[in-house]
C-alpha cells in the first residue's frame, strides 16, 4: 500500500467509515509503516489509520495499540474509536476538532501545566493486558536491529553509540519510577486542545515503561531550554524533583534524542523526498544536542548526583 493513491484506499474507506455515500479522503500523516487520512462522509469527519501487515515494522502490535486506544478514548484522552480491525491494521476514530499548538503556545506556562496534567492522566490509566513493556534499552535495540547497521546521519556514530551505552549503564543504576502506560510520541502535531481539554493522537508507540519517557519526549520535541524542561518536570511531579529524579530526567532525555535519530534514519530510508526535509533537519538538531552534551555522570550507591543534559 506504499504510496497508494486514493483510488486504492477508497474501497477500505467505504467499508469502514460510518454512514452512506461518497467518502472524501485527504492524507494527513505518514509514519513508519502507517498512513493517516482525514475521511469525510455524510457530514461527519473521521481519522482513518492504515497499517497493513506487509509494511509494519518489527515490534508493531496493532492489537495492543487498538486496546490502548479504547482505554484512552474511554477516558477522553484519545479520539473515540468507531472501527477497529487490528488484523488488517485498520483503525477509524472520530476526527477531533480543536486547536494545535505552535512554538509560542507550547512555551506558555498555563499550557505547560496542562500538558503535565495530560501526562499524569495517561500514566494513571490501567494498561490493557498483556501489557507491551518497553524500556529505553529496548527502543535502542529495536531501531538498531531495524537499521541493520550504523545510522549514516550520525557523523560520529561510534562515539554516540558508546555514549548511549554509558548512559544506559547509568540509567540501570538509578531507581526508576513505577512503570506506567506511556503515549511515547507526544509532540505538538499529536496534541489537540479542545473545549473539554487536551486529546492525544497517534498511539502506535504506546507502551508500559518509565513515565519520564513522555515527559522528556515533550521537552525534546519542543527543543526546550534546560529551564523550561525543569519547569515541566516540576509541574508533572507537583513538587521539586529530587537530585536523582533530575539526573534520571537528564539521562533519559539524552537517550530519547538518540532514539529519535535512529528513528529518523529508518524513516528517511523508507520515505519519499517530499517527507524527508523536515525529518532530516530535525535529526540534525538532535545530533547537535547529543554531541554537545556532557559525558554521562556516574552514580554512587549512597550519593545522589546532578546531571545536565
Q: What is the pLDDT of residue 298?
A: 45
Backbone phi and psi for residue 71, each to the nearest 5 degrees, phi listed first = -65, -50
Cell of 300: 554512587
Q: What is the pLDDT of residue 1?
A: 42
- Sign of the alpha-carbon dihedral angle for 141, 261, 278, 213: positive
Q: What is the pLDDT of residue 119?
A: 98
Cα distance between residue 258 and residue 143, in whole Å = 10
For the chain, give every domain's residue range.
Answer: 6-94, 103-292
Residue 218: CA count within 13 A, CB half-sphere: 30
Residues 6 or more apart in contact with residue 199 via CB below 8 angstroms: 76, 77, 78, 79, 96, 98, 191, 192
Nearest CA-CA partner of 12 in 62, 97, 83, 94 = 83
Produce one character per residue of 231-256: b if its CB has 16 or more CB atoms within 10 Å, e if not. bbbebbbeeebeebbbbbbbbbbbbb
Q: Is 305 helix (H, G, I), strand (E, B) or coil?
A: coil
CB 119 within 8 A of CB 186: yes
Nearest CA-CA partner of 255 in 220, 282, 300, 218 = 220
Q: Is 308 helix (H, G, I), strand (E, B) or coil?
A: coil
Nearest CA-CA partner of 237 in 225, 246, 228 = 246
Backbone phi and psi for residue 15, each to the nearest 5 degrees, phi listed first = -80, -35
Residues 6 or more apart in contact with residue 130 via CB below 8 angstroms: none
Best CATH choice for the domain 6-94 from the list 3.30.200.20, 3.20.140.10, 3.40.630.10, 3.40.50.300: 3.30.200.20
- Sign of the alpha-carbon dihedral angle for 23, 17, 188, 88: negative
Nearest CA-CA partner of 137 in 289, 252, 291, 306 = 252
Using the structure block, give the residue that is written with the C-alpha cell 512554538: 103
Produce one character per residue of 191-215: b if its CB has 16 or more CB atoms within 10 Å, e if not. bbbeeeebbbbbbbbbbbbbbbbbb
Q: What is the pLDDT of residue 23?
A: 94
CATH number of 103-292: 3.90.1200.10
Backbone phi and psi for residue 128, each to the nearest 5 degrees, phi listed first = -60, 155
Could you read off the pLDDT tens digit of each residue along the chain, which spans 309 residues? Answer: 444 455 688 999 999 999 999 999 999 877 777 889 999 999 999 999 998 876 666 567 889 999 999 999 999 999 999 999 999 989 999 999 999 999 889 999 999 999 999 999 999 999 999 999 999 999 999 988 888 866 667 655 688 888 999 999 988 887 666 899 999 999 999 999 999 999 999 998 999 999 999 999 999 999 999 999 999 999 999 999 998 899 899 999 999 999 999 999 888 887 665 568 888 889 999 999 998 885 555 443 334 444 444
Amino acid at each position: 500500500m506504499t504510496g497508494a493513491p486514493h483510488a486504492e484506499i477508497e474501497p477500505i474507506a467505504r467499508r469502514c467509515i460510518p454512514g452512506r455515500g461518497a467518502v472524501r479522503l485527504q492524507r494527513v500523516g505518514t509514519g513508519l509503516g502507517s498512513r493517516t487520512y482525514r475521511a469525510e462522509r455524510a457530514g461527519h469527519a473521521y481519522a482513518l489509520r492504515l497499517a497493513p501487515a506487509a509494511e509494519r515494522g518489527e515490534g508493531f502490535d496493532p492489537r495492543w495499540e487498538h486496546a490502548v486506544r479504547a482505554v484512552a478514548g474511554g477516558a477522553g484522552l484519545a479520539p473515540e474509536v468507531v472501527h477497529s480491525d487490528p488484523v488488517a491494521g485498520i483503525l477509524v476514530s472520530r476526527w477531533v476538532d480543536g486547536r494545535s499548538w505552535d512554538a509560542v503556545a507550547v512555551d506558555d506556562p498555563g499550557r505547560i501545566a496542562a500538558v503535565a496534567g495530560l501526562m499524569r492522566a495517561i500514566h494513571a490509566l490501567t494498561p490493557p493486558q498483556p501489557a507491551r513493556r518497553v524500556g529505553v534499552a529496548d527502543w535502542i535495540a529495536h531501531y538498531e536491529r531495524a537499521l541493520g547497521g550504523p545510522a549514516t546521519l550520525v557523523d560520529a556514530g561510534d562515539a554516540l553509540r558508546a555514549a548511549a551505552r554509558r548512559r544506559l549503564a547509568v540509567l540501570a543504576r538509578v531507581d526508576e519510577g513505577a512503570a506506567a502506560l506511556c503515549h511515547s510520541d507526544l509532540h505538538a502535531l499529536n496534541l489537540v486542545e479542545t473545549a473539554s481539554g487536551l486529546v492525544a493522537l497517534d498511539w502506535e508507540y504506546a507502551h508500559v515503561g518509565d513515565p519520564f519517557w513522555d515527559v522528556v519526549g515533550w521537552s525534546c520535541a519542543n527543543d526546550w531550554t534546560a529551564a523550561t524542561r525543569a519547569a515541566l518536570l516540576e509541574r508533572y511531579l507537583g513538587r521539586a524533583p529530587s537530585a536523582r529524579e533530575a539526573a534520571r530526567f537528564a539521562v533519559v532525555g539524552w537517550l530519547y534524542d538518540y532514539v529519535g535519530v535512529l528513528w529518523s534514519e529508518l524513516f528517511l530510508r523508507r520515505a519519499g523526498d517530499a517527507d524527508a526535509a523536515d525529518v532530516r533537519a530535525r535529526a540534525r538538531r538532535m545530533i547537535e544536542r547529543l554531541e554537545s552534551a556532557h559525558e554521562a555522570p556516574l552514580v554512587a550507591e549512597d550519593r545522589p548526583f546532578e546531571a545536565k543534559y
